[in-house]
Every structure is written in structure tokens, then in C-alpha cells.
Amino acid sequence: MAKFKTYDYRQRVFLPVSLEDQLIPGTLEFAIQTLVETRLDTAVFAKQYQNDETGRAAYDPKILLKIVLLGYARGLISSRKIERACRENVVFIALACGQQPDHSTIAAFVSSMKEEVLPLFRDVLMVCQEMDLLGGTFFALDGVKLPSNASKDWSGTHAELSRRKERLEAKVQQLLKEHVQEDQGDAHRPGPKGPDQTTREKQVQRLQKQAERLEKWLKENKAKYGTTKKEISSNVTDNDSAKMRTSHGVVQGYNSQALIDAKHQVIIHAEAFGRGQDHAHGPPMLEGALENLKRLGHSEEYFAGRIFTADTNYHSDTNLRKCQELRLDAYIPDLYFRRRDPRYEAQRRYWPRRKTFALEDFCYDEAPDQYVCPNGKRLKRKVRHIFRDGVVQRGYIADEKDCQPCPLRSRCLISGGGKRRYLWVPIGVELTNLSKRMAAKIDTEQGRKIYPQRFAVAEPVFANIRTQKRLDRFTLRGKIKVNIQWLLYCMIHNIEKIMNYGFA
């Protein structure tokens, strides 16, 4: 008969654990421990506490900062998960020195780092400079659009939100009327309320709260306007956020930007914006990076002659003027730079894979100046010309009666939606002088050699933060708090660089 070792879960054991020995040199937790204890100035948190004479002793900001940074590095963005790790994970227990802050303390600490997070980011950047991790010759700017703790359903212009409030109030009145009618019909039958009545009362209370919330928000907030002076959608849950198109669909969130040094992919400045378009992100990012570098001892002319790259989304007069002002050797291509590049002529990789009909699928009838669609219907010219990204385009519009019953509408209209097809035909280019000079610069042999290097600089940084750190959404609301989270993630990215290049 087989014999097995006996075991008894009631048996008591003593496990001698040295917390210091759990933080092994060469690991990320050791780098965090050493940096926070010896290089980061956590005295900036002192003004938040007023318990020197009375009150309970608070958790040391060093402890909270360490576990938050390690939590973000391990993909734990939730304060509840970080709290649990401090109770169950030996590395977190060691880093917290056996202390167990609860989730509310952790969340409040992160949310309150309004003025403290940037000085800490600069302290880490100073260590990167001392370790010679900054090349200072080649920089790349890029961003990633991430959803925030906000609902797309609560977005709209002031007029749209007002109409929604009116619909909620009308629904409340309808439910109350039905409730009164049921009460009158059941007056001869005394007894407890039925399940339908109870559910209706809860529904009325919920809708009333939503209507009151909308009414209060509309009184306290003004309409938001875009660069074209046209009103854009506001958001009731987080008005600093915006709707943004991404490869994963439309999200309600923030456009998180990072300016990266090419030598070891160290982030020299980071900021989250509530705008999807990158046309105006160049100046604040470059100014923020220059301020960080000045705190490290560099001069105002630091960027003069340095190479700066960004993708086509940043090709705007605003960004180009800022690069000219700082005397950067910038390479920011226009939207159609690949069409002019002979290297792509055979492969035509610059053409996106499309599911809908494009301009070449429509036949032009010169006499009436009309286009004929694949279904044989005509699109008439309605707009003489319009400027889009510096390209002069002429517009042709189909008849709504032709598009509604069309069997090809799913291939003609985006996602099968829309009432009619609009066709934009490019007829010329009207670029500013700066855009023309930049386009000519990109088309040179040197420009076509330098610009592609941007991918090897910027893309791995965002892959690390999104994939390895698992940052797929922000958990806070408001630009200030979201920016804190984004800077902390960029900070832990830089700390990893310090760890990988021999910090001890």
C-alpha cells in the first residue's frame, strides 16, 4: 500500500522574513526603493499634512509613492488591487515595510499629487541625465488616446443635453401618470404594493436624479467650442475629456502625449490633453520639456539644431511655427508625403485598406459636371471648393432618395450609416510657406532617411506602457488627476531605464 507524507493545516510555523532581503539589487522594486529613499525629494508632500501637534500619524508619502509606482509597473492601476497586494504579495509587503494602507488612502494620495508629481518626475529625469541616458540630439513626439472614467452616453452640446433633460422629465411625468392610474384602479384592493409599482417608483427616482443632475450641470458649465469656433460636445461626467477616434473605435478620454529622447527612449516630458487632434500639442509639449531641461541645468537654447520628429497628425502651422521659434531641425511630414515617395510607388502601401467605395469607383461626367456612383446614380456639385489639410477639394452630393434604398449603401456609406454620399475631389494644393518648406524637406534624401527613425524611438515606449504596464484606461476624472496618472506611468518607465542601465 502506498505511503504518503502526512500534513496538518492546524500546524503552526514561524517564517523569519527579512523585508530588506526581499528587495534584491537589480530588480525594479530595489530601484524604486533606492530612488525614493535617496534621490526623490518627498518633502514636497509635507505641506499637505497638519498633524504635527494633534491628529493621528499619517502614512509616510515615501511608502505610498513606492507601492503606487510598483503597482503601476505590475499593471495594478486600481487602488483596491494595490491594497490587496500590500497584504498578500511579499514584494509589496517589503516595499511597504509591513504597513497596509487601505484603498481610500492610496486613491487620495494619487489624486492629491497636483503640484508634487512634476518635481518628482524631474528628480527621476535628473538621475537619467547623471547616468548619461539622455542623448540630447534626436527627439520624437507621439501620443496615445485612452478612455477615461467618463461615459460617452453623457456627451453632447448644450442644446442636446437640454433636450435630453426634457425627455427625462417627460418620461417621469408619464410614469407618475401611470402610477396614479394604477393606484386609482387598485384603490378597492388594499394591501402591499405590487412589484410593478415598486419598480416604477425606483425608476422615477432614478430619472428624476438624472434630470436634476443635468439641470445643475447646464447651469454651472458653459458650452465648449473647437478651433473652428463651432460648439463641440461636452461631457457631464468629465468635461475635460473629449470624444476621440482610435483604432478601437470612438472613446471618451484623453490624448496622452510624450516627448522622448532617442538614445535610451527616456521620456523628457509628458502631459495628457482633452483634445483628439494633435495640431496644437507641439507648443505645450516642447515648452514643458524645455522647462524640465532648464531645471536640469540646460539653457534656453537647448533645442537649437536638435532633430525633432513627429507624425503627420502634428503637421500644422502652430506646431511648425513653434519648431521654427526653438530652431529645431524638425521633420513633420504632411498627409500625402508617401504619395510623393517613389519607394512606395510599386507597393502602394500608403493606401489604406478600405471597405467603402473611393473616388476611383465613381465615373466623372464632364458635360453636366457630375459623378456617377457604382449603382448608376448621379452626384451633383454643391460646393465650389473647400480646404482640408491644405488640399483644395470640390464637393459632390448624392440625392438622399437615391441612397436610402440603395443595395450598395453598406459599401458606400461608413458603417452603412448616413443619409447620403458626399464625394470630395482634390483639385489643388494650397499650403502655407512653412508647410511647403517642410514638405520639400521631407522629400529630400536626408528627410526620407531621418523621419522613419521616429518609429524605433516612440512606438516601443507606448507599447511598454500599454502592453507591459497594461494601461488601457484612466481611472480618474479631470485633466489634473488624469495627468497625475500619466506622469506616474511615464516616471516608472524612466525608472525601468535606470534599472536596466546599472542603477545600484
Kindly report, residue by residue over 300-321, the tens digit of the pLDDT.
999 999 999 999 999 998 999 9
Lowest-confidence region among 120-129, 408-417, 465-474: 408-417
Q: Please tell me which residue, 504 or 134, carries the higher pLDDT value.
A: 134
Q: Are 356 and 412 in contact (CB under 8 A)?
A: yes
Q: What is the mean pLDDT of residues 271-297?
A: 95
Q: What is the mean pLDDT of residues 319-334?
A: 96
- What pLDDT is recorded for position 76? 96
Q: What is the mean pLDDT of residues 132-146?
A: 96
- What pLDDT is recorded for position 426? 79
The whole-chain average pLDDT of the chain stands at 89
Of the pLDDT bands very low, low, confident and very high (cuts 50, 70, 90), residue 383 is low
Phi, psi dihedrals of residue 349, rounded to the nearest 5°: -70, -15
Q: Please tell me which residue, 181 or 41, carries the higher pLDDT value.
A: 41
- What pLDDT is recorded for position 148? 93
Distance, in Å, from the CA atom of 238 to the CA atom of 234, rounded to the nearest integer, reads 8
Quick one: how far is CA 268 from the chain centroid?
18
Residues in the chain: 504
Of the pLDDT bands very low, low, confident and very high (cuts 50, 70, 90), residue 122 is very high
Q: What is the mean pLDDT of residues 175-197?
A: 66
Q: Is 502 left (phi over 0), alpha (psi -120 to 50) or beta?
A: left
Flag whether pLDDT at 188 surpasses 70: no
Distance, in Å, from the CA atom of 312 to the CA atom of 304, rounded to the nearest integer, reads 22
How does pLDDT run across 216-256, given as a tens digit for each residue? 999 999 998 887 788 889 999 999 999 998 887 889 999 99
pLDDT above 90: percentage of residues in the chain: 64
Helices H / strands E in the chain, number of each: 17, 15
Domains of the chain listed by start with CATH number: 19-49+58-112 (no CATH), 135-149+245-334+434-480 (3.30.420), 152-186+194-235 (no CATH), 359-430 (no CATH)
Q: Are 244 and 251 in contact (CB under 8 A)?
A: yes
Q: Are 137 and 329 in contact (CB under 8 A)?
A: no
Q: Is 358 left (phi over 0), alpha (psi -120 to 50) or beta?
A: beta
Q: Please tell me which residue, 328 or 336, carries the higher pLDDT value.
A: 328
How does pLDDT run across 196-215, given as a tens digit for each residue? 677 888 888 899 999 999 99
Within 10 angstroms of residue 209's Cβ, the number of other Cβ atoms is 11
How does pLDDT run across 67-91, given as a tens digit for each residue? 999 999 999 999 999 999 999 999 9
Q: Which three cell numbers stand for residue 278?
A: 494633435
Flag whether pLDDT at 477 surpasses 80: yes
Q: Are 392 and 429 in contact (CB under 8 A)?
A: yes
- What pLDDT is recorded for position 408? 86
Of the pLDDT bands very low, low, confident and very high (cuts 50, 70, 90), residue 361 is confident
- What pLDDT is recorded for position 367? 86
Residue 244: strand pairing partners: 251
- What pLDDT is recorded for position 193? 53
How does pLDDT run across 390-446, given as a tens digit for each residue? 567 788 999 988 888 888 888 888 654 678 888 888 776 555 678 889 999 999 999
Q: Are 282 and 310 in contact (CB under 8 A)?
A: yes
- What pLDDT is recorded for position 354? 54
Residue type at position 504: A
Which is nearest to 375 in space by CA: 352, 401, 394, 353? 401
Phi, psi dihedrals of residue 429, rounded to the nearest 5°: -130, 135
Contacts of 197 (CB under 8 A, 6+ apart): 179, 182, 183
Within 10 angstroms of residue 134's Cβ, the number of other Cβ atoms is 19
SS3 readout for 234-273: EECCCCCCEEEEECCEEEEEEEEEEEEECCCCEEEEEEEE
Which is nearest to 348 in space by CA: 357, 356, 339? 339
Q: What is the mean pLDDT of residues 26-46?
A: 94
Q: Please tell me which residue, 351 or 247, carries the higher pLDDT value.
A: 247
Of the pLDDT bands very low, low, confident and very high (cuts 50, 70, 90), residue 54 is confident
